[in-house]
Amino acid sequence: MSKEKDKKLVEAITPMDTDFAQWYTDVVKKADLCDYSSVKGCMVYTPYGYAIWEHIQRILDCRFKETGHENVYMPLFIPESLLQKEKDHVEGFAPEVAWVTHGGDEELTERLCVRPTSETLFCEHFQHVIKSYRDLPKLYNQWCSVVRWEKNTRPFLRTREFLWQEGHTMHATAEEAIAETEQMLNIYADFHEHDLAVPVIRGRKTDSDKFAGAERTYCIEAMMHDGKSLQAGTSHYFGDGFARAFEIQFTDNENKLVHPFQTSWGTTTRMIGGIIMTHGDDSGLVLPPAVAPIQIVVIPIASHKAGVSEAAAALSDRLSARFRVKLDDSDNSAGWKFSEYEMKGVPLRLEIGPRDLEANQCVLVSRLDRSKKVVSLDDIEAEVEKALEAVRAGLYEKALANREQRTHSCKTLDEIRASLEEHGDGFIKAMWCGDPECEDKVKEETGVASRCIPFDQETISDVCVCCGKPAKQMVLWGKSY
């Protein structure tokens, strides 16, 4: 195969600095992460894309279970009367709800909502099973899909049906529920930073942006390569509002009848979109090793030479005991294979040819920076382990540097506008008085909305960026996906 043909795969990707949205679409398709469906706004998760989700699911599920949570499964459908029990909640989801009105040829006596989230179903169940303080806490999690009738869709980032997990817990005291809410947010944050190599900012949503029916919503915000924010996970404290609406009560240890306190928390397949937009480059995906379906690809060089194919197969088998390995012994050219696995974001490539056999070595190539290193086969497991960690750490540092470079502090609306004009999209740190009208005005006049009130507070000035009145908090502002 000619060099020109080898290049075609990469040339099919629009450079990210030319058109970031088109670059994203190109990578999703060329890396074979999904396919479009005849159901508008929905997508097909192809094996490679779904495998990334399986690794995300595996890691998070283990972390949830380590903290005492159990998996359950609730029905897909919610009766309209059940959804109506919590007024704020139903109003928040009403524009996005899909309804079932017929079963076969018969019109239903009551409409069924296709689950957009499952708070009401969990509450109905909790009302049945919680009677005594001995029944608490209830620590449940569900892996499922949900439907929200989005108007503008994009693969992984915003689709009408998407995959997620939703945790739902009940506690005897508000203090326990708040501690649960914070614990789960920290699990999300640690997972993103350690396993996905995506730095995040932990914070609390403003009241105007909190989850429908929640008293508090905590979130983690990640910055993408283009400076826009992605809400990467949320954790909600509901107080006892849902418990009162659904008449959930239990007898406490003083024999008094009281209401429990509730939380919910969730994260979705939009994490895959976040991985693409945080780590990808003009050659395609760059996957963090923890969730890469293939961590190492072994490519024989000059496989027609004696012993090369056998050595490559032996190396693949040896490494497969500890890592996710693919041996590509197809008749495609080496150049095509290099482009193919760069496109798919495989963290490490091992090349082995006739000279390597003679020297008991192979060539290790990192997807992070395409650096090459000759390593002894005697120490190959340790070398691969170090190289994978170097990829993870390098991805994190690169993403963190991008965030720091694109984060600016501003004291006035004019400074926000000037910063966006000079630096492009990014995070803006600015003070806020707490008035929702000021929050709205910042967005109207500058185009950036509140992302969160960071837990790590700074004092940029003493007054609100909008009205000049005394400031209460620093807010992180930005544009988002």
What domains are defined for the chain? Answer: 11-279 (3.30.930.10), 294-396 (3.40.50.800), 407-478 (3.30.110.30)
On the CB side of 121, CA atoms within 13 Å amount to 20
d(CA 389, CA 462): 43
User: Could you list the pLDDT tens digit for every one of the 481 residues in the chain?
Assistant: 344 444 454 557 999 999 999 999 999 999 999 999 999 999 999 999 999 999 999 999 999 999 999 999 999 999 999 988 877 776 777 888 999 999 999 999 999 999 999 999 999 999 999 999 999 999 999 999 999 999 899 999 999 999 999 999 999 999 999 999 999 999 999 999 999 999 999 999 999 999 988 999 999 999 999 999 999 999 999 999 999 999 999 999 999 999 999 999 999 999 999 999 999 999 999 999 999 999 999 999 998 899 999 999 999 999 999 999 999 999 999 999 999 999 999 999 999 999 999 999 999 999 999 999 999 999 999 999 999 999 999 999 999 999 999 999 999 999 999 999 999 999 999 999 999 999 999 999 999 999 999 999 999 999 999 999 999 999 999 999 9
End-to-end CA distance of the chain: 40
On the CB side of 415, CA atoms within 13 Å amount to 16
Residue found under tokens 């739902």: 168
- 55: tokens are 């690794």
Q: How far is CA 212 from CA 18, 123, 399, 469, in A?
A: 38, 15, 32, 29
d(CA 50, CA 30): 15
| Beta-carbon contacts of residue 63 (< 8 Å; ≥ 6 apart) | 187, 191
Q: Are strands 229-239 and 98-103 parallel, antiparallel or unpaired?
A: unpaired
| DSSP string for 412-450 | SHHHHHHHHHHH-S-EEEEEE-S-HHHHHHHHHHHS-EE
